[in-house]
Each structure stands twice: as C-alpha cells, then as structure tokens.
C-alpha cells in the first residue's frame, strides 16, 4: 500500500465514537485531552514521519482491497512540507485524491504483525485520513510526487472545514469541488499564514490513546470476520469470502507532531461505520458519485439501519422515505441545498443525521423526528436554526455556517451540546447566555466547553419572557434593560390588537411558589377619559416544561390568582389575558413566569373572613384561605375573642372551633376570629385576626312554654318558658280557664306565673300565656300553653291480702278492693322483713320496683323473711291513691339446690372474656363447682380447661380458636347438699383475635455491617407474613424509609452511619387480616465497622478464552481504594501473580489450573481489613477452533506451507486434506468440499503440500479439522488459494543428440515448468577451430546432415 505524505492544507478526518459511546464521556474531558495533546506536540521538534520513498510495490498488489479503521487520531507532521504537490479534480470528506502519478519510488513495508512488535511511530496525516474511512477506494489514495513546489503554491490550498467534536473523539473533514495542490515543504521552513489560506494541523484524541510529552499512540481496530461453519477464506483470512482487507494495522505504528496552528479542523463529526452490522441492515456507498437515491443498483430497502452516502453528488432526498428503520444516515459532503427535507418524515427511527459539508440554506422543511438524538449541519450556508421541534435531540452541531440570528430557534427540550463556532452570530454579546435561555437547564456544553459560570449567572438575571422574545427576533441586550426591552418587544406585537383607547401598562406574573398564591398583573390604562364601559379581563393559566415548550391549559384555572401545586415545581406558568370591551373580545396577551419554586413549608393565611349575621342566637363561621407553601395541609388552630367597647379582646372559653354561636354575653361586643395555620408536619404560620362589627340583641321572644306540676285539685302549678332576646324585663303572665259550654278561655288571674287549682277547675283545662318584654320595654310575641283537664282527688284500696305458697321460687299474688272510681293500672312493690310488725318502710328491704304486675316469684334472698306488698291504687286515667302495705303471716321456706337457668355471655374471640351466669335455687348457695370445656364438635365430651376450673370467667386463649366452649355448673348448698350438674354450650366457634404486637424491639449492635434482627411478640391467631419497614433517622429528627428493607432483619450499610435505625411492623394474620402498625425504639447512632469484604464471587465462565471478573460486597465506612490480586495456582501450593486489573482473560496457561482472587478491603481513611480470597474450579479448555487458515501463493514444485491459528486447549494432531479444482471457487459450495463438485479431487492428507504439474492452473483448497490433544475436534475450516497454481519457470535438462538414421539426427531433452508449449529448437555447427555457427533454417527437432556439415560437430539447443 502506498504511503503518501500529508499536505499542509489537507484536512484530516477522524471518525467519532459510535452513538452508544458518544456520550459516555463528557465533551469537557475530550477538550481537556485535546488541549493536553496539542500543548505537548507544540514543544516537540518537527520530525519526518516517513521516508520519501513509499512502498509502491505492496500497494500495487492490493489495489482492489478496501481499508477500514477503528478509532484513530491524526496529527500533521512537519515533514509533510518536504513533498511535491499533485493536482486533483475533486476533494471528498477524507481528503483523498487520485492515486496516479508519474514518479514514485517504493520500499518494503512491514506488515501489521511486524509493526505491532516494534515501538510504534507517529502515523502521517494521510494515514489517519485513510484510517478514518471504513472503505477507502483505490481511486481515493493520493500519490507522492518527487518534485518540490514553491512557497507560492500554498495559496492555492483551500482552508480545512471545521469539525464538530462529540464524545471523546475529535473529527475533521474536508470537502472541495475545486482543484487542490498538495504541497510539502522542508521541516526547517515555517508555514506562511495569510487571510486567504493557512496551514492548520489537528490533534485528535482517542479512547485508546495515552498522553505523553511529545506524542500519542494510535490504535486501529480491525473488524473481525463473521462467524461461519466451516469458515472460508481466499488466501488472506479464514472465515470471510469478502475481497476487502483491513490494512489499518499496517499504519498504526507511526508518530506525528502537532503544532499550535491545529485549530481549524474541529467542527465536523463523521459517523463510524457500524462494521458489526450485517449487510442486510448496512449500506456503505461513500464516494461512489451517486446522484439519485432512486438510481438502479442502489438497493435501498426498508430493513436498512445504517446508511453511509457521504462524498456523493446527491441533491435531493426523493427516495429516502423507504428507509423507515434507518438509525444512522450520513449525507455529508453532497450537493444538498435545501429546502426539501420532507421525505425524512418517514424515517421515524432515525437517531443520527449527518448533513455537514453541503450547501443547505434552511432547515425549515426538516420534519419533527421523534428519535433524533444527533444532528450535524456544520459547513453549510444556514442563516438561522429555524426548524421543527426535535423532542429527543441532544447534540446540535452547526458550526461553520452563516448564522447571524437566533430568530426561530426551535424547542429542543433535551439538548445538551450546542456548537455554533465560526458563525457571524458569535459577534453577538453574551451569546452563551442567550443560548442558555433558549435551551433551558438541559444545556451542558456550548461550543465544546462547559458553560461559563458568569454566563449562567447572567442568564438568571433576564426576565422569563426573554426566550420568547429572542425566538421572535428581539435584539439581545444587558439584563438591566431586558425587562423594559422585552416588554416593548411584546408590546409592539400586541399593540395593534388592543381595545380602542387603551394601552397596556403592565403584563407580569409574581414569582411562583409551591402552594402559594401566584397573582398575574395585567394593567390597561385609558388614553383619555371616556364614558365607554369598563374593560373586563378574562384569564386562563397554562403550564409548560420550558419557556419555548407547548403549554397545556390548567383545568379550572381562570382567575387572576393561581395556586401552584407540588407537581408544578420547576415548571413554567403562562397566563393568557383576554380583554373584553362591551361585547367584543380582543386577542389575548400573555405573561410568562419564572420556574415554580419549592415552598418553605411554613403556611400562611392569605385571606380571613367571618360569615353570618351578627345577631344574638345566630351561628357565625370563620373561614381562612391558607397557602400551605409545600407543607401538608393540616387543621389550623381557631379561637374566638370578645372585645367590649374601649377594652382589649378577651378569649372566649370553649370557643375553639371555626363556628361560634352568639350568646347574650356577646351583645354590644365585637368578636375577633383568630386563626393559626398548622401543617401536618407541625409547622406553624403566623396567626391572623379578623374583627367583626358589634353584636346586636335579638327581638324578645319566648319558647318552650310549659306548665309544671300535676293538674290535680288542690295542687299548685307553675307556668314557665325560655326567654330569648337580650336581658328580660317585666314580662307579663296570664291564667285562663276553659268554658265547658263555649270552649272559650276566660281570664282567671294575671301578673303571676303560679296558680292553685280549685274545685271549679276540676274537669276543665287551664291556659297559660307568656308575654316576653326585654329590659328596654320592647314587647315580643306572646306564646301560650294549655294544660290537661284538672282531675279530682286520688282513689283508695282496702282488704289487701297476699295469696300463694310461701316457699323459695314460688309465686305469690296480692289482691285488694279499690274504691274511688274504676281501678286502672294499680302498682305493686314487694319487700321483705325480719319483723312481723310493720313500721312504714323503715324496716323493709325492697325486692322489686313498683310494677303493674301483682304476681311475684319469691327469690332465694327472701328465705326466712316475711313478705310485704305495697299496693298503690290507680284509676284508668292514671290517678293514683294512697299506698297500702300487707305482710305474710309466716316466713318463706327453702327448696333443694338446683339451677333454674345457665348461660354464657361475652365475645367468642381470642382474648375475649366469656362470663358464665346461672340462677340458683334451693337455699343459700354453698361452693358450687364450675368447669370449662373445649369441644372440637358440638356433641363430643370436650376437654377440661384446668386453668380456669372454679372460675366464672374465661379469657379465650389461642388454643381455643376454631373450637366450641361449654360451661358446667354443679349447684351446692351451704350445708353441703349437691344438686344436679347443668351444662351450657356456646353458640359459635371461637374466632381468632385481631392481630397486634405486644412487644417490638431491635436486636443487634449499632455497627455498620452488623445484621439487625427484629424481636417481637405477636398476638392474634396464627401469624402470617407480617410487614416490616426500616427507617433511618438523622440527628435533627428527619426520618426516611430505607428502600428495599422489608424483611425481619437488616444489614447496616455505609448509608446508615451517623443515623438512628428503627423498624415498624404491621402484624398480619395467616388469613391476611392486619393489625395496627407498631414502631420500635431507635437504635444508634450507627458507627462505622472495620473494613470487611462480606462476599466475594467470580463473574464469568471458567473456560479458556473467557474473561473473569468479580463482585465484592464491602462494608466498613466509606470505601477507599480496595486492592485485589489475581493468582494462578500451580503445583505444591505455588502461586503465580497474574495482574491487579478489574478482570482476567483466561489463556492456555490457565487450563487445568485454578485461579485465586485475593481482595483486601480498604477504608477511605486508609485502614485495611482482612483480605478475603476465593479460588475457582480448574479452568477447562475451550472447544477446539481454527481461527485462521491461509494458503500462500502456490507454485509448481514448491512446497506450500499454510498459515493457521488455533484456539482451544493444547493442540493435538489435526486432520489436513488438500483438494484441487479447476472450477472457479466462487461457483463451488464449500460446506462439504469433498462432494461439492465432480471436478474436486483430493491431492494429499498432509499439513504441507508440493504442487505438481497436474496442479498447474488449478485452485488448491485445504480442509483443516482442528483437534485438541485429547482427540476432540472442532468445526472444519476451509481455505482456498487466491489464485491458481502457477507453473515453474520453463527449464530443460539432459539435452542430447541421437542418431535416427544415416545423416538424420534428433535433438532430445527433458522439459519441466508447466505444460510445454512451442519450444524453440536450434542447430549449430562447430568447426575444428572451435567456431560455432548457427545453421539457418534448422529450427525443428530433427536435422538432416548436408555437405557443409562435414568435418564439423553438430550442436543442438
């Protein structure tokens, strides 16, 4: 391959990382690496990177191959100034030029394996350019001319194109449609810099590079072959039938220097070809001069995901709509001018779009692409960035354009990187602050550097509507003037639509806080005094993520004030104000707020009102409107105070609710409603007060007028009522009697509320009239009440007797004769006495209350007593007479002991108390026998509960759950006589109790790494899966739940150090019933434990060729730089240290041996813990695999020794079979080479093979079956010679002359070197003096002697 020198004006291209790696490292790190590399390169002397002689011979042998490279860095060596220039017709993005040149010299060049074994040298600029292209065609390789050019030729070199930097790699690119001369000057001559052209060099960094003082290493990755079975190669690499070669490894060992002038090629990023993707999803046609996407043979299909069409002649996107699944689309360096991006609307999956190096003037037609994350439009002719919103765009590279305004800047909600270098807009002051305002908080990088703190602070000083004004073309100004300037900008947009005669004075929103009143301010003023109706303003609030985002209307937010919710934090409020004048609604205007701030958690009262009429007797209610300011809404503290004229307010006792009923004490006083807001967290706000007017007295009135006393002849009755209406004055009272004939009531007496019933009142009703009068003499509405009919005197009873058997539990009845009317519901009460003589009720002991029933069952307590009955006669109308007492003639006798009833009452639940009750008869009870039993079923004998024998109460235990309970009582009289036992069975089975915890505590030491366990006492049936929650409490009392800590034990981690730990438990019964949650006492504070490795495990397969890593769990304070070592265990306990890396790649040396990992935990303060080790199983060998099999060029009679690469344990004796075929290898199916064609013949079964004459012109194939030393074989590998067997040079030996007949001779010889063709024969005549003379015309194999031949010798050749 030719090794051309880099030219001073040539632009270099370095491929960026893949998309998944582009953002793995911040651009700031990339910039730091570039700066460091550039600084060290400036200090280095200029060195010649490659000799003038290039390796021409090897380049000619590989004209058809293609080059690919991984991540490369390029630097321009100063030795490039020593080369001659070659004119080219068109530049592409790689800087490549046509290869043909008139003069070039070549020298041998080492292959990749040779370079890898030596100290790498700095690659030339052109080598980096070639490595940046995955497939560089032969036509794009520049050659080196030997003639030097003058310094003037430098002016013809075009400037390099800016490059956008993304991720960790710098990328550069060039594109030119004009002829370019590549000039190389001597390293001792400095390049000339002018306004028209300059020599610029680029230093790029790579992920795999390491910085040094003068140079960096560049590592090119070689694409691995696709895996097939068996793998096939054509002379170069087994497993691939592709004719393309990866030659980048030959170029990876060069060195170059970097100067400080390398600053121009920093703005264009080009994608890395996804070499791992299959041909069915990847299309790479870079530099094929494609003019149309609809061209035949382009093979666009919906399955393509990676399309690279860089360096072509495309000018329209028509046809791209078929790429519905494309993810990466590279259209850089074509002839697009735009607009015309509408066909991209079908590319919904597109993630990366590269449009650099075109002639695009506008992005207005670029549709919204929902998955687009990267957009490069560098080096175009854009004047602005106006385009559709791109919801997922993270990187926008627009350097090297003509952008002069931010008008129309799109909404890019997740943009992180914005690059606009080398644009006229850079003259705009504080462009970075304006960009921060437009993009929002997601912006992390501006022009490939971290955001300036000054610009960030400056952006915060601008009003919220600034971004909208910038997008509308507002001229950016200083923050002190921005408020007025942006208002004027919006005013100019709205002024033509204001109501006639009105001007807008203010449009703003207060700083919004969570759950606090946010008020908007829209002030319209009249230009002149007018009688027109007042203007009405309608409001509508909206919510958005950013100032430029699409705002969403907030439901029911139509007032001047809006209360931001918790979920509105960090969002933007927008309110639209619609002016209405008369019946006409005018276009709305708006105001934008700053982001909603989080509340301070201290509530405050916004408004306090008292509702209700201030009249005695009414209920008034205080209402407080509270801004909770981020706290949880709670119940505030309300109280009422009374303030009399010219005195201080006094608290009203008991008035601690929002409602308050006005009393007489409040008349002529003003009330004060005091309200203190309190959140659920306990935060109190400032109390607020609301004063009322003075309370008025109600008009005098009376209610609940009634007559007290029995309306019986001779009794005194009294009329009363409830007065209301201030202080009562001399109210009036009147008594009236009913006239039986007319029914009218006539006045009997007045002035008093009492009246004595007389004989004239019997059989008549009385009426009482209450006329209320207050202290001021105001008379209210009267209220009257009518009594019942006045009754005559009560009845009497005589001849009272007690009838019945005077024995315990027997019934007795009282009888008597009632006089004074018909007997009604007379009442009887029973007593007992020891004395036969009655003395009123003094010596009587009541055994019952007064009842209508005249029968009575004698209780046990009456045994040995006399029975007394009190008989009170009553008429049917309820009139009662004087009570009469009667006593029995003898005392009550006793009965045998027995039970008249037996029952169980209580809760049939675990923990409940059951109480047995019974009725005993038969004298005085002695010590009766009590027993409780448990029954599985209702009719079994039951199991005695010994613990409660002799008790009437039983607390249900856990053993009784699901069983029946019975109580047996055996009556025993006090004289020892025993009666018959009686049993009562409960009506239901015992249910389990509600689950609850009787005790809960944490057991364990408060040391990190210790496992804390829960010690609890559960009650309430069979315990199920109780719920545990662990909490971490700081020293200030704030508490938070520990995530994923839901078990009965918890291991203390580093996050717990300095905190207190507690646990809550919600008891759960086996049937999922839940009890109240209990919180344990705290344990702590937690202290750091010694550094300890709790667990150590291997990750990976224990097989040769695999990569081992590990997982170690650390406890013991903040983790420091823990140390680990890998060892290989040999015989007799000998260990061989391998590495201290994070992983270990297993090799053949590890097969049959074990690997030991020793991990030493180290705390951040340097304290070391005890090492922990883990030993693996024996490493097993991998399956035998043939990785490489290459047949060299084959010549007749020369031994062909194939090159192979084996993996999979110790290699054994494999199987080798040679075949020959005269059929083109592309037409054969090599899966089974022995039966693929009748033309295939087996030649040999040895490792090497010496072709014979039969093999000349035929292709050789070698089938290798890789075999491990234990005899296990892998999949066969087939290699095919790249060309047929070449014949050996034609050689003849054993040349002689034989006589055929007299005078006729024949020339004979043995020929070798392929098949003999038309060999040339010559006959010579040698004279006696030694002269050899060619015989003319004697050119056949036979010769007939002539006369001239006599005396001469014949020679044959």
Block mean pLDDT (10 aa), the chain, length 1357: 38 36 38 37 35 37 36 35 37 41 38 37 37 35 36 36 35 35 35 34 34 35 36 35 33 35 57 83 92 85 94 93 94 90 94 96 94 96 93 95 93 94 92 91 93 91 88 85 86 86 89 90 84 84 85 91 89 93 90 89 87 89 86 86 87 89 88 90 87 89 91 85 87 90 88 86 89 87 90 79 86 83 79 83 82 84 87 81 87 85 89 89 87 90 90 89 92 89 90 88 89 90 90 91 90 88 92 90 88 89 88 86 90 86 87 90 88 90 86 88 86 87 65 65 89 86 88 87 88 86 85 82 86 86 83 84
Spatial CB neighbours of 492, under 8 Å, sequence gap ≥ 6:
none
Spatial CA neighbour of 958 closest among 917, 995, 929? 995
What three-state secondary structure class fits 1057? strand
Calculate the alpha carbon distances from 946 to 57, 916, 935, 951, 964 in Å. Answer: 112, 16, 14, 10, 16
What φ, ψ does residue 634 adopt, rounded to 5°? -125, -165
The CB density around residue 1130, as the number of other CB atoms within 10 Å, is 11
Spatial CA neighbour of 679 closest among 624, 629, 630, 632? 632
Through-space distance between the first and last CA atoms of the chain, rounded to whole angstroms: 44
Helix ranges, 890-1005 (H) = none
Decide the pairing of beta strands 518-526 and 502-509.
antiparallel
Spell 396-415 as b/e; 16+ CB within 10 A means b. bbbbbbebebbeebbbbbeb
CA separation for the pair 49, 51 (Å, rounded):
7
E strand or H helix at 438:
helix 431-439
Spatial CA neighbour of 658 closest among 672, 638, 643? 638
What three-state secondary structure class fits 730? coil
What three-state secondary structure class fits 608? strand
Peptide bond into 479 cis (omega under 30): no
The length of the chain is 1357
Calculate the alpha carbon distances from 218 to 306, 592, 709, 1329 in Å. Answer: 26, 52, 119, 73
Decide the pairing of beta strands 732-738 and 766-771.
antiparallel
1090 DSSP 8-state letter: -
pLDDT of residue 473: 84
The pair of structure tokens assigned to 727 is: 């202080």
Decide the pairing of beta strands 445-446 and 417-419.
parallel
What three-state secondary structure class fits 235? coil
Burial class (CB in 10 A: 0-12, 13-18, 19+), 21: middle
Spatial CA neighbour of 27 closest among 448, 528, 525, 496? 448
Model-wide pTM > 0.85: no
Beta bridge partners of 1218: 1244, 1262
Instruction: Kindly list the strands in the beta sheet with 866-872, ordered across the sheet, starting from the edge strand earlier in the chain.
Output: 845-846, 827-833, 866-872, 884-887
């Amino acid at each position: 391959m030719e090794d051309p020198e880099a030219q001073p004006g040539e632009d270099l291209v370095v491929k960026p990382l893949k998309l998944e790696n582009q953002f793995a490292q911040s651009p700031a790190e990339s910039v730091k690496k570039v700066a460091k590399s550039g600084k060290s390169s400036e200090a280095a002397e200029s060195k010649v990177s490659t000799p003038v002689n290039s390796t021409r011979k090897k380049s000619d042998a590989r004209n058809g191959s293609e080059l690919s490279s991984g991540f490369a860095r390029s630097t321009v060596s100063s030795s490039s100034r020593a080369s001659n220039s070659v004119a080219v017709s068109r530049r592409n993005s790689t800087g490549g030029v046509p290869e043909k040149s008139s003069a070039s010299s070549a020298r041998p060049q080492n292959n990749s394996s040779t370079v890898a074994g030596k100290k790498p040298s700095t690659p030339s600029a052109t080598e980096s350019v070639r490595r940046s292209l995955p497939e560089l065609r032969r036509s794009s390789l520049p050659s080196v001319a030997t003639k030097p050019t003058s310094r003037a030729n430098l002016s013809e070199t075009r400037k390099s194109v800016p490059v956008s930097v993304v991720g960790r790699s710098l990328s550069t690119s060039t594109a030119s449609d004009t002829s370019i001369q590549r000039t190389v000057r001597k390293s001792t001559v400095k390049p000339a810099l002018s306004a028209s052209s300059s020599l610029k060099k680029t230093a790029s960094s790579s992920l795999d590079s390491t910085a040094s003082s003068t140079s960096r290493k560049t590592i090119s990755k070689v694409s691995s072959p696709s895996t097939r079975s068996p793998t096939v190669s054509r002379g170069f690499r087994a497993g691939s039938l592709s004719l393309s070669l990866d030659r980048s490894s030959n170029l990876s060992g060069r060195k170059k220097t970097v100067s400080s002038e390398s600053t121009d090629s920093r703005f264009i990023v080009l994608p890395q070809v996804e070499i791992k993707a299959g041909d069915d999803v990847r299309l790479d046609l870079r530099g094929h001069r494609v003019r149309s996407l609809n061209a035949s043979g382009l093979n666009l299909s919906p399955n393509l995901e990676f399309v690279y069409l860089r360096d072509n002649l495309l000018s329209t996107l028509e046809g791209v709509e078929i790429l519905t699944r494309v993810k990466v689309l590279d259209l850089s360096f074509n002839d697009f001018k735009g607009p015309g991006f509408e066909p991209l609307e079908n590319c919904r999956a597109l993630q990366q779009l590269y449009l650099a190096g075109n002639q695009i003037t506008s992005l207005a037609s670029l549709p919204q692409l929902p998955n687009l994350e990267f957009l490069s439009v560098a080096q175009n002719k854009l004047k602005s960035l106006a385009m559709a919103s791109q919801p997922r765009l993270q990187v926008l590279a627009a350097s090297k354009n003509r952008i002069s305004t931010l008008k129309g800047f799109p909404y890019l909600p997740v943009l992180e990187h914005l690059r606009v270098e080398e644009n006229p807009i850079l003259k705009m002051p504080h462009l970075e602050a304006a960009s921060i305002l437009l993009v929002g908080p997601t912006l992390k990088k501006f022009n490939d550097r971290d955001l300036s703190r000054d610009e960030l602070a400056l952006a915060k000083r601008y009003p919220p509507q600034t971004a909208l004004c910038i997008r509308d073309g507002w001229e950016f100004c200083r923050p002190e003037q921005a408020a007025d300037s942006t208002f004027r900008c919006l005013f100019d947009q709205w002024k033509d639509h204001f109501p006639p005669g009105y001007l807008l004075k203010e449009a703003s929103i207060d700083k919004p806080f969570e759950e606090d009143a946010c008020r908007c301010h829209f002030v319209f003023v009249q230009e002149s005094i007018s009688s027109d109706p007042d203007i009405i303003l309608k409001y509508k609030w909206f919510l958005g993520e950013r100032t430029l985002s699409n705002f969403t209307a907030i439901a029911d937010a139509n007032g001047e004030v809006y209360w931001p919710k918790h979920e509105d934090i960090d969002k933007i409020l927008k309110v639209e104000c619609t002016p209405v004048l008369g019946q006409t609604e005018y276009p709305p205007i708006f105001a934008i707020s700053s982001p909603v701030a989080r509340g301070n958690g201290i509530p405050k009262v916004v408004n306090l009102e008292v509702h209700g009429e201030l009249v005695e007797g009414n209920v008034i209610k205080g209402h407080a409107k509270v801004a909770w300011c981020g706290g949880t809404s709670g119940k505030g503290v309300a109280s009422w105070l009374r303030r009399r004229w010219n005195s201080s307010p006094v608290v009203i006792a008991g008035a601690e609710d929002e409602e308050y009923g006005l009393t007489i004490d409040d008349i002529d006083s003003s009330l004060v409603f005091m309200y203190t807001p309190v959140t659920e967290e306990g935060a109190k706000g400032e109390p607020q007060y609301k004063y009322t007017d003075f309370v008025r007295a109600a008009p005098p009135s009376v209610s609940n007028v009634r007559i007290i006393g029995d309306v019986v002849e001779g009794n005194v009755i009294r009329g009363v009522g409830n007065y209301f209406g201030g202080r009562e004055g001399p109210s009036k009272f009147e008594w009236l009697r009913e006239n039986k004939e007319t029914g009218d009531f006539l006045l009997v007496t007045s002035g008093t509320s009492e009246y004595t019933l007389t004989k004239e009142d019997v059989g008549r009703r009385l009426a009482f009239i209450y006329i209320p009068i207050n202290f001021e003499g105001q008379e209210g509405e009267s209220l009257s009440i009518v009594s019942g009919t006045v009754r005559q005197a009560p009845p009497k009873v005589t001849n009272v007797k007690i009838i019945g058997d005077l024995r315990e539990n027997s019934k007795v009845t009282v009888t008597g004769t009632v006089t004074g009317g018909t007997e009604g519901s007379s009442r009887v009460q029973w007593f007992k006495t020891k004395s036969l003589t009655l003395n009123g009720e003094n010596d009587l002991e009541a055994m019952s209350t007064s009842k209508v029933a005249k029968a009575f069952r004698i209780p046990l307590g009456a045994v040995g007593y006399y029975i007394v009955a009190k008989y009170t006669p009553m008429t049917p109308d309820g009139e009662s007479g004087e009570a009469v007492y009667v006593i029995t003639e003898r005392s009550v006798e006793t009965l045998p002991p027995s039970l008249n009833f037996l029952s169980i009452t209580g809760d049939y639940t675990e923990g409940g108390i059951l109480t047995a009750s019974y009725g005993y008869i038969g004298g005085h009870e002695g010590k009766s026998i009590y027993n409780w039993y448990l029954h599985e079923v209702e009719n079994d004998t039951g199991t005695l509960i010994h613990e409660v024998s002799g008790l009437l109460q039983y607390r249900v235990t856990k053993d009784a759950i699901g069983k029946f309970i019975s109580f047996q009582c055996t009556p025993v009289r006090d004289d020892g006589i025993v009666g018959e036992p009686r049993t009562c069975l409960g009506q239901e089975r015992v249910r389990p109790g509600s689950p609850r915890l009787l005790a809960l505590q944490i057991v364990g030491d408060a040391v990190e790494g210790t496992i804390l366990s829960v010690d609890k006492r559960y009650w309430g049936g069979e315990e199920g899966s109780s719920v545990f929650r662990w909490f971490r409490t700081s020293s200030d009392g704030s508490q938070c739940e520990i995530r994923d800590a839901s078990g009965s034990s918890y291991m203390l981690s580093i996050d717990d150090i300095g905190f207190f730990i507690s646990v809550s438990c919600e008891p759960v019964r086996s049937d999922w019933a839940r009890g109240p949650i209990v919180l344990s006492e705290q344990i702590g504070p937690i202290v750091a434990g010694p550094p300890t490795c709790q667990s150590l495990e291997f990750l990976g397969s224990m097989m040769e060729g695999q990569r081992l890593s590990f997982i170690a769990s650390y406890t013991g304070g903040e983790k420091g730089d823990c140390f680990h070592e890998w060892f290989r265990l040999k015989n007799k306990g000998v260990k061989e240290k391998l590495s201290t890396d994070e992983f270990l790649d297993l090799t053949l040396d590890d097969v049959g041996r074990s690997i030991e990992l020793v991990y030493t935990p180290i705390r951040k303060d340097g304290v070391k813990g005890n090492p922990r080790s883990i030993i693996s199983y024996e490493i097993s060998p991998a399956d035998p695999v043939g990785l490489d099999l290459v047949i060299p060029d084959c010549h007749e009679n020369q031994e062909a020794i194939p090159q192979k690469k084996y993996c999979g344990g110790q290699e054994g004796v494999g199987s080798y079979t040679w075949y020959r075929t005269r059929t083109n290898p592309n037409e054969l199916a090599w899966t089974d080479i022995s039966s693929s064609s009748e033309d295939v013949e087996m030649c040999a079964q040895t490792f090497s093979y010496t072709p014979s004459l039969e093999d000349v012109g035929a292709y050789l194939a070698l089938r290798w079956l890789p075999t491990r030393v234990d005899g296990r074989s892998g999949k066969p590998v087939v290699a095919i010679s790249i060309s047929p067997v070449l014949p050996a040079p034609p050689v003849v030996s054993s040349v002689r002359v034989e006589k055929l007949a007299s005078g006729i001779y024949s020339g004979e010889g043995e020929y070798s070197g392929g098949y003999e063709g038309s060999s040339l024969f010559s006959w010579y005549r040698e004279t006696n003096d030694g002269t050899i003379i060619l015989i003319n015309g004697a050119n056949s194999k036979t010769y007939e002697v002539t006369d001239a031949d006599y005396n001469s010798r014949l020679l044959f050749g």
